[in-house]
Amino acid sequence: MKTLSLFFFLSSFYLWAQPEDKLSYQDFDSYQEIYSFSQLEKKLTFYLKKHSEIENYYHLDKNTFKIYASLTDKKKDVPEYILRLISEPPATKKKTDKKLSELRIALDPGHLGGPLFSRWESRYIDMPAKKGKPSMTFNEGDLALATAFELKILLETQGAKVFLTRNASGQSVYHKSFFLWLEEDFLSAVEKKISLITDPAEKSTVKCWWLTQTPLASIFRSLYNPLDLKARAQKISHFSPDISIMLHYNAGAANDLNGQNQGTEKNFCMAFVPGSFSKGELQNQEARYHFVRLLLTPDIENSIKLSRFVVEEFVEKLQVPPVSESVTSAPYLKNFCLATSAKGVYARNLNLTRLVPGTICFGEPLYQDNYQESRLLSQKDFVIQGVAAPNRVKKVAQAYFQGILRFCER
């Protein structure tokens, strides 16, 4: 069963790695002879390279930056794309900033929410009753949706054009609902997976396991969730936003074997921006395209500027301190992230931080399983567009709003 679990884990990566439409590096031709060696080297070191294995896919010298499909190609010096560098970069022109009323802003309420999918995604709080206090149940997807509705109103009042990736609790962004996908596409998704296995006996075992033994929740997380994340990135890109905000609520403690979260005293806020590529994360062309985009465009720098303001507002408005690498409830900061100059803002290679171009902020304003936060978040103080929500999310929306305002006024 151990082998199967490993395959199960790896296979969710391969679903992302399937070759689809090849993205064209010619998109970056306008960056020819713009940057110097030291500019690119700094950016690679500070924001992009989490693991040294990433160096297998590129070469940087005084004259060129080259990207390769594999280490073999690098050894043969067969690059996918060559960027010519210059020795002295010209003084950078200050770009003209847009007012909030001119901005297009995409809001992505994280996860699907709803009573069933939030359980399958393991994005819910179900805290048992303790010392005479009642049990608490709520889910991250619905909190994120209510926050997005509230933030949309604040931004639209200022004239911004706002787009939401989803508008209902329990709704996927992928064009087919989970159950329709299960009926129509599950079998072909399994066939696609096993096509990567060369040994016929293993192929047959794995296929049988997928079709007969896999719980629905695992099928949902492993096969359907990646499709939904990709659909979010595509929808956001199609809207061509100036700013994209991914709205999430973090947790400090994991669910126990009964699926319950016992809560935590800890509470931290943070935001993620693109970058920090780890081992194996440049294996597909789409990832390498976005790696080059992040190296050449100001998307990371702008995302840090925005996220710095947003985190400062989380701290002030919510009274939640910014996280740091020494926080034990956030081991992913050490393992997968690169710290930026802004407190609580980290480069992290999540699907959405990588795939969505432009200025982004992937926000985690608080720990929803903090005892005090849980009490506040389990309240149903108001209803917004059919979703019952706690007043606490209004404060979170105001923090995002002020952060965006400050970014525009900088």
Range in contact with Zn ion (rule: CB under 5 A) among 82-90, 148-156, 240-248, 371-379 = 240-248
> 124 or 289: whose CB is closer to Zn ion?
124
Query: Interface mask (CB under 5 A) for Zn ion, residues 268-307, using x and -?
Result: ----------------------------------------
Tokens coding 32:
């020819």
Nearby residues of 15 by Cβ (< 8 Å), 6 or more positions away: 189, 192, 193, 222, 223, 226
Least distance in angstroms from the C-beta of 141 to Zn ion = 8
Least distance in angstroms from the C-beta of 369 to Zn ion = 12
Least distance in angstroms from the C-beta of 111 to Zn ion = 6
> 83 or 151: whose CB is closer to Zn ion?
151
> 118 or 359: whose CB is closer to Zn ion?
118
> 110 or 274: whose CB is closer to Zn ion?
110
Cα 386 from chain centre: 26
DSSP code of residue 203? H
Q: Name the residue whose CB lies closest to Zn ion.
A: 248
Least distance in angstroms from the C-beta of 83 to Zn ion = 35
With residues binned 3-state (H G I as helix, E B as strand, rest as coil), the percentages for the chain, rounded to 5, are 45, 15, 35
- Residue 298 to residue 304: CA distance in whole angstroms: 10
Least distance in angstroms from the C-beta of 68 to Zn ion = 34
- Residue 95 to residue 223: CA distance in whole angstroms: 42
- Residue 254 to residue 329: CA distance in whole angstroms: 10
> 140 or 312: whose CB is closer to Zn ion?
140
Residue 157 burial class via C-beta count within 10 angstroms: exposed 0-12, middle 13-18, buried 19 and up: exposed
> 206 or 377: whose CB is closer to Zn ion?
377
> 137 or 297: whose CB is closer to Zn ion?
137
Q: Binding-site residue total for Zn ion (CB under 5 A)?
A: 2
CA distances to 17, 207, 217, 273, 277 from 280, in Å? 11, 25, 26, 20, 8
392 binding Zn ion? (CB under 5 A):
no
Out of 48, 103, 105, 110, the residue judged to bind Zn ion by CB under 5 A: 110
- Residue 129 to residue 9: CA distance in whole angstroms: 34
Tokens coding 335:
């393992």
Contact 244, 310 (CB under 8 A): no
Least distance in angstroms from the C-beta of 386 to Zn ion = 21
Out of 152, 230, 232, 248, the residue judged to bind Zn ion by CB under 5 A: 248
The residues binding Zn ion (CB under 5 A) are 110, 248
